Structure 1
């Protein structure tokens, strides 16, 4: 056992402190460039997390097939947090300090993001959040490529009301995404001359909706707006169809099939007619999307993931990051952020994507689509929609050290 005198101890301590405060130095010395993947591969959100992880690995393979980055191979470091926030925290810390990853792509729920985002901010580990969410994150260390309510819900509500009527009954998941999205729904409904008759919230493990269906029947809305989340909440759509209500009151949703699998889990009798708005559908007709779908099918011929905004945006996350590394010629976080803040656009399967330098959120094409026979048929396209909600509260050009999730005031 080696003894340390006081001076030696202080030198060692100083070296440790320098290591923790300058993770990019450690990353640059690695034999491979490590990319963290932190998605729910088991638990209530595994139906979304597994396809995201599959596409993450495929994107890394694509980068390596084209020569890797900076003369090195890119290596995936993947953990399964099991929808458990304690595990999210543990693995995020491990990725930043032990694995010394160059970037992390991960998190599904807003709760998971807000568990890991401050950890990555603290250790300056670049972080990509690739999930649609309620908006409001203001953190220069995070790149947010998923859609926000101002990009999708603002398109969905007037379209649904014009089709079906002004009276809306909202059902939503009982956590911050559901509550904040329900508030946006109310704002957009009222802005379009409508009324939200009732809003109900449900924990993620709720599977029985009989009493709610009875309440909706009694309220007699023109449409139901669903912001339900996860496999358990699929019970609502099945029970709604079984009750005979599907033929009487239509459904629009901010979340249905956001992870992909819901559309094929439900039968056509249960799912046909559900209206959604996202930043990606497999039915988008462009050459980049056709090539992307073919690559996914080739890589996973026997367990081909059902693609959705969440999985396609995960592909975007790797490709945007890899492009920044190539352009900067470095893994330095500041250099990469400057590339991504430069206003360049990317040709993605979902269409044209760029990063708003003020919010680090994506400016992207958005689509309205209706489910028919387990396939989404695009009804309308909205080009280059800004994340206006987050722009209301975040300007990273003025406050580059911001580290906050704003709950946007809708009063």
Structure 2
């Protein structure tokens, strides 16, 4: 069944709160205890909303569960959620509001790397613990920041050799023209060459590009065995449609690091998505008890939720990892919680066992390789407890606790 993203966005935003205002002012049965304040900055409108609204549902679900179980340290959690409207200026504005006016104890937020880097310095400056729960290009090294999504060493490193084995050794890379796409294209190139392959060309596209006709002609002339895609957002979905319309779908297969994160297999025709490969830290189709329970809970509460991807699962797991840190610390003091999180905190969530790596503040987590069949992901392989080795090559916060930057990892192909 295909669900309208627009219908889901409207329903979810209505259920969440008024735009650009703190969400959830629930009455708690905790006596007079002051709430622990949890901030969230996620896009519920604008170009990135299709990702943000499902992440908001994960935050709301996790907070409701924790409060129903007695809260943390005998205190309720209260969510301060702002709609950043896919606008970097609003990210910066609301980050300061969460830190200075709302005085939250932790923030979970940001989707694009640009949004993360717009708010991370604010939380460093005002000493607010920050969780970034999105797959990204790697390299963030900041003691006040924890990154729970996958990095290229956990997923791209698995996806590229598998696709090569199925298709051939000559690839054509397409990527979004910003930080994520540019760096991911470098990782794709590295893993192609590491496995004896060749990259024929790398083409970058601004996020507003929708016409891929000239590019498809170039690909046809180059005759690759494989397309590697790091295209991003609704406009770039046009490539997949135009690729199929050009009669290329059954000739040259596609492996993507982004396709399917916002329900593309169900929103494009089945013939467009059929056979595309992907590798993420979570797929809704996982058959584990934890995954089934997570999906059932979210779909019961939000019947129109379109697809539950790694973005949603990592947000939920990020909240619970922080909660485990608070419980172990016995305090919401920032440094005590950071030290507790650095002790090897883990949580068994919908994606499996997720463990925080003390050196990098990233997660050691499972990766899943899958292929689209009949508008759903068919999980083909599971890789257990994959470390963030790319970020580990540049970051050691135990040895260098004052680090607070994103490194550009030297990718030698």
- Superposed pair shares fold, TM > 0.5: yes
SS at structure 2 position matched to 1:378:
strand
Give me the whole-angstrom Cα distance separating, in 1, the residues matched to 2:218 and 2:53: 35
In the TM superposition, what whole-angstrom CA distance separates every residue of 1:12-65 from its partner, at most 9, and x where no partner exists? xxxxxxxxxxxxxxxxx9822221111111111111111111111111111111
1:276 equivalent to 2:294? Answer no
Give me the whole-angstrom Cα distance separating, in 2, the residues matched to 1:123 and 1:261: 37
Runs of 4+ in 1 over 3 A off after TM superposition: none
Q: Look up the match of 1:312.
A: 313
Which of these residues, 108, 130, 133, is aligned with residue 130 of structure 1?
A: 133
Contact 2:321/2:346, CA 8 A, preserved across alignment: no
The structure with the largest alpha-carbon Rg is 1
Give me the whole-angstrom Cα distance separating, in 1, the residues matched to 2:202 and 2:338: 40
Q: Look up the match of 2:73.
A: 70
Give me the whole-angstrom Cα distance separating, in 1, the residues matched to 2:65 and 2:146: 21
Q: Look up the match of 1:407.
A: 408
In the TM superposition, what whole-angstrom CA distance separates every residue of 1:265-290 from its partner, at most 9, and x where no partner exists? 11211101000000001122211111
Which of these residues, 283, 286, 289, is aligned with residue 287 of structure 1?
A: 289
Contact 1:47/1:231, CA 8 A, preserved across alignment: no
Which of these residues, 126, 150, 153, is aligned with residue 153 of structure 2?
A: 150
CA-atom RMSD, angstroms?
Answer: 1.2
Give me the whole-angstrom Cα distance separating, in 2, the residues matched to 1:243 and 1:233: 16
Give me the whole-angstrom Cα distance separating, in 1, the residues matched to 2:101 and 2:382: 44
Q: Look up the match of 1:222.
A: 225
Give me the whole-angstrom Cα distance separating, in 1, the residues matched to 2:44 and 2:282: 22
1:304 CA drift (Å): 2.4
Which of these residues, 37, 42, 50, is aligned with residue 40 of structure 2?
A: 37
Give me the whole-angstrom Cα distance separating, in 2, the residues matched to 1:309 and 1:363: 14
SS at structure 1 position matched to 2:308:
coil
Q: Look up the match of 2:9.
A: none
Q: Look up the match of 1:9.
A: none
Give me the whole-angstrom Cα distance separating, in 2, the residues matched to 1:252 and 1:360: 28
Contact 2:232/2:258, CA 8 A, preserved across alignment: yes
The 5-angstrom pairing of residues 380-391 of structure 1 reads 380-391=381-392
Contact 1:171/1:199, CA 8 A, preserved across alignment: yes
The 5-angstrom pairing of residues 179-258 of structure 1 reads 179-258=182-261
Q: Look up the match of 1:298.
A: 300
Contact 1:227/1:254, CA 8 A, preserved across alignment: yes
1:305 CA drift (Å): 4.2
In the TM superposition, what whole-angstrom CA distance separates every residue of 1:255-312 from its partner, at most 9, and x where no partner exists? 1112x321211121110100000000112221111111111112112x2241000011
Contact 1:54/1:305, CA 8 A, preserved across alignment: no
Q: Look up the match of 1:262.
A: 264
Q: Look up the match of 1:166.
A: 169
In the TM superposition, what whole-angstrom CA distance separates every residue of 1:86-141 from its partner, at most 9, and x where no partner exists? 11111111111111111111111111111111111111111111110000000011
Q: Look up the match of 2:335.
A: 334
1:116 equivalent to 2:147? Answer no
Give me the whole-angstrom Cα distance separating, in 1, the residues matched to 2:50 and 2:144: 28
1:346 CA drift (Å): 1.5
Q: Look up the match of 1:379.
A: 380
Q: Look up the match of 1:366.
A: 367
Instruction: Show structure 2 runs of 5+ residues with no match.
Output: 1-31
Which of these residues, 76, 79, 97, is aligned with residue 94 of structure 1?
A: 97
Give me the whole-angstrom Cα distance separating, in 1, the residues matched to 2:226 and 2:141: 34
Contact 2:313/2:351, CA 8 A, preserved across alignment: yes
Contact 1:342/1:357, CA 8 A, preserved across alignment: yes
SS at structure 2 position matched to 1:247:
coil
SS at structure 1 position matched to 2:409:
coil
1:325 CA drift (Å): 1.5
